[in-house]
Amino acid sequence: MIDYITGTLTELEPTFAIVENNGIGYSINLTLPTYTSLASESNKQAKLYITEIIREDAHLLYGFTTKAERSLFELLMTVSGIGANSARLIMSAYSVGELRQIIATGNVMAMSAVKGIGNKTAQRILVDLKDKILKIHFSDNIESNESSGTDFAVHNEVKVASVEALTMLGFSAPACSKVVDKILQEHPQATIENVIKMALKML
């Protein structure tokens, strides 16, 4: 089993990264907090803690900047009905600190606001993980930053990247484009992460 991969970050998108190690490029799925953390780094070196998911038709890698984030991701997947995609959507809709608070306080409304997570599933997550979540210790030091400019090129880049990320998460492109346009009209300085977080609660 792979515990972590360290190497050169050759490609970075909101939903995945390519990390090259010894001439091999590993395609690693990301959550938004992990993407934000990698995007904020000035150097091109990355270390990601890995969760491997091996199926008959695929060998998937999910990467996280801290062991605590990985533990939360794997904890979510212990809940019946929650697979890797659902766990990634949940962790992309909220920061790890927010999720810890939502689960610890039993906030069904906040959990069920995530696309694809119905009321019963939200309740199951909260009941199953309430005691376990308190055993995971982490500092939520990822801040949501607003971009400083409203330049058209930046605005367009945010839209394109956001729509691409949402479609890769399984949503239809036309619906994503419409929602992202609405968000950027109301929040013209929103970052890619902020746009995707808001869109996940609207789609």
Pairing of strands 24-29, 45-54: unpaired
CB distance 62 to 88 below 8 Å: yes
CA atoms 77, 118, 28, 145: torsion sign: negative
The DSSP code sequence of 41-75 is: -SSSEEEEEEEEEE-SS-EEEEEESSHHHHHHHHH
Q: Report the distance separating Cα 159 and Cα 184, nearest Å.
A: 8
* Cα-trace Rg, the chain: 17
CB distance 126 to 117 below 8 Å: no
Q: What are the chain's domains? A: 4-64 (2.40.50.140), 67-133 (1.10.150.20), 152-200 (1.10.8)
The rounded average pLDDT for each run of 10 residues, N- to C-terminus, in the chain (203 residues) is 93 93 95 87 88 90 92 94 92 84 88 88 93 67 38 65 83 84 87 87 83
Q: Report the distance separating Cα 137 and Cα 195, nearest Å.
A: 28
Check residue 113 and give its pLDDT: 86
Residues 6+ apart with CB under 8 A from 202: 179, 182, 183
Check residue 146 and give its pLDDT: 37
Q: Report the distance separating Cα 49 and Cα 194, nearest Å.
A: 24
Check residue 51 and give its pLDDT: 96
Pairing of strands 59-64, 45-54: antiparallel
Q: Report the distance separating Cα 45 and Cα 38, nearest Å.
A: 9
Q: Report the distance separating Cα 40 and Cα 178, nearest Å.
A: 28
CB atoms within 10 A of CB 118: 12
Helix/strand/coil for 29: strand
